[in-house]
A and B are shown apart, each in its own frame.
Chain A
């Protein structure tokens, strides 16, 4: 198909540009010490995130045939049925069995696909007995966290600190416009809606820093509404709480 005088130089130029763009990039500007936000798929850290990852792979397994088959058939047609001298086009234009087949089979696949994800919704939506409760409030353009069971201490515009391997239940709301609290490694995104409470839970299986970001357009500095979560041991968490309580009392 690529036969014209126009297309060939254009293609070469395009390929060169794209290659330069990919490989000429300066990867060094990413600080190596910080954990990356990008690898939740390979490194989920909560039961929900594991569930979402497995669910995504399951959908992939079911849908890949539907992704590949039409493309293969398309290229087969392009290759096989190109106009050749003397060839006569076929004249069929209906085949009821075939049409029933390609309605029923995908429909059944979708049922298979839906069942595990419905189970997972139930798992996500069932709040466990909380070990630590927090309240998340979205504000233009920072996050405010409250610990109602720990002297109601409040922190804003600084990293959320939670203990490792504990059930954290978060009640979320917003003080101004709708925001969304999203930490990919936790498999959680939930809108914080003014005048409403939404709820999520997570249980992080290892210590470390986890990144996230506001995911609902909330104004000019929406992109600066970053989320950092510091997951620490229970002892460190207790110490941190004590420190914050003193800070709070001293204010």
Chain B
């Protein structure tokens, strides 16, 4: 694939494409610069807003984790009351999922997809702004619930009834949580529609789907997952809301309702949600590895099929979260089998990444370090997932710290590592300066060691029988848990240094050309042909992609 920026190809068969103006379109600028940010519909501004929100919420969610780790630093502490502890763990999960990982990936998607496919903006710029701004009331609702009577939601991010029903969670915390989830869901769904329409319709002439950068493929599949899954989650939490406030009995056993039905509905969304949180990360990792190996992505076609397969299979495995819920043995066999099948396309991705760097000339820049670290950590999270797919073993360690370890390897080792890799990689494009490489090196090592020190020992206490979501625990687990709490401090140090290095970089003058990493001779991505940062509307002339 090569890019012919100068010679737009005339379409065959006489059907003419719309003419694009030769000069960049001048965006309308309001006199007050604040409006240019707050009122912007530019996909790049919105992408950066998403990323800024994600960073801010990451600090909040990390602070909540700090409360949890302080409480668990030894077996009989009372740093938090048991009620507050449950609120912290509920909000930690909800915030990290709905306001950190998902918005961060939406931010990268917004910023990069139009640039990668040679478009001037997303298909629906105003809806794009709506998708972002509706996250703010959503976050405010969830936070404000800490101040209401009874405190924030404390039934876990899973909000299983009957615990989340009025009888057991009396205050308005759960209601506010549900409304917050609704708004975040609206944001996700409108965003997903925007991505699908943009990718299907706005690719530059000549860029057929199988020439599209892998990141766009992962976002396309991701958008479909969001579009299909999120309404089911919204339905499930709405039924809880109705049970709580409007006298319905969907999940009240005494009135013929069924709490297990909620679990089916909830996990129908929330298993795919794992892929929603990691697929775009896969795409980013592919680009970073290829770039700093100075090679092309290995097995592009296989990668596309693997992402598609993960997307489809992701919808038929939800029951693996319910192996101990009393569902029938046949159902467990099926869900166990289907879950193991997912390991195959996931493995294809791992092998293809290794083949991508094989034979390259590896440059160990900070984004590359995060991408290589991602492979190492994600393999661990994947293998423990195969363990959990086995019903007998899962019935032993389900809802134990082994599961906590597993999904943090997937979400921190997978999603967060890929978000770090993507941030360090595209920051020069977005901001016109590189993040400091020496500080980046320290951020990487602190985070990698802290991450492993925090989550690796959780496998151990989980195997030893420590249940998750407990406020105090048997003294047998005290030593390992103190160690874990110290590991958390290393991750905090990494986070603080990262924030500082972002501020430090933004105080320097811009000095990056189009291709600051000097990688585009091999990568041939449209992103690295635009100035850093790209101008409004990205391309003076819509590029044509040759074969």
Distance of A17 from chain B, by nearest CB (Å):
5
Q: Are B340 and A114 in contact (CB under 8 A)?
A: yes
**Contacts of B253-276 to chain A: CB distance below 8 A:** 253-254, 257-260
The size bracket of the interface on A is: 35 or more
Fill in one digit per residue for A78-98: 1 if any B CB lies within 8 Å of its CB, else 0.
100111100111111111001
Fill in one digit per residue for A43-79: 1 if any B CB lies within 8 Å of its CB, else 0.
0000010011001100100010011001101100110
Closest residue of A by beta carbon distance from B257: A195
Interface of A is mostly: mixed
Distance of B167 from chain A, by nearest CB (Å):
8
Interface of B is mostly: helix
Q: Are B479 and A27 in contact (CB under 8 A)?
A: yes
Asked if B25 is at the interface of the complex by the 8 Å CB criterion, the answer is: no
Task: Given A30-B476, A99-B348, A215-B399, check contact A176 B168 (CB 8 Å).
Answer: yes
A1-9, A142-150, A161-169: which lies at the interface: A1-9
Q: Are A213 and B470 in contact (CB under 8 A)?
A: yes
Task: Given A25-B479, A91-B295, A180-B324, check contact A195 B253 (CB 8 Å).
Answer: yes
Can you list 20 A-B pairs with a CB-CB distance of less than 8 A?
Answer: A1-B364, A2-B445, A7-B442, A7-B445, A21-B483, A25-B482, A38-B465, A74-B354, A74-B376, A78-B362, A89-B359, A93-B298, A94-B299, A110-B344, A114-B337, A120-B391, A125-B329, A188-B395, A189-B398, A190-B395
Contacts of B188 in A (CB 8 A): none
| Other A-B pairs, 18, CB within 8 Å; known A56-B387, A59-B386, A213-B465 | A4-B442, A18-B486, A36-B476, A37-B464, A52-B395, A77-B358, A89-B360, A89-B361, A91-B295, A110-B340, A121-B336, A178-B259, A189-B398, A193-B259, A193-B326, A194-B162, A195-B254, A217-B469
CA gap between A99 and B257 in the complex, in Å = 49
Contacts of B400 in A (CB 8 A): 215
Contacts of A67 in B (CB 8 A): 379-380, 383
Distance of A121 from chain B, by nearest CB (Å):
5
Asked if B24 is at the interface of the complex by the 8 Å CB criterion, the answer is: no
Contacts of B158 in A (CB 8 A): 217
Closest residue of B by beta carbon distance from A221: B82
CA gap between A160 and B130 in the complex, in Å = 57
Asked if B433 is at the interface of the complex by the 8 Å CB criterion, the answer is: no
Interface size on B, residues (CB 8 A): 109
Asked if A219 is at the interface of the complex by the 8 Å CB criterion, the answer is: yes
Contacts of A66 in B (CB 8 A): 347, 379, 383, 386
Contacts of A213 in B (CB 8 A): 465, 467, 470, 474
Asked if B350 is at the interface of the complex by the 8 Å CB criterion, the answer is: yes
Distance of B318 from chain A, by nearest CB (Å):
16
Task: Given A121-B391, A223-B470, check contact A6 B361 (CB 8 Å).
Answer: no
Partner pick for B361 among A83, A187, A221, CB 8 A cutoff: A83
Contacts of A90 in B (CB 8 A): 295, 358-360
CA gap between A40 and B476 in the complex, in Å = 13
Contacts of A117 in B (CB 8 A): 336, 390-393
Fill in one digit per residue for B150-164: 1 if any A CB lies within 8 Å of its CB, else 0.
000011101010110
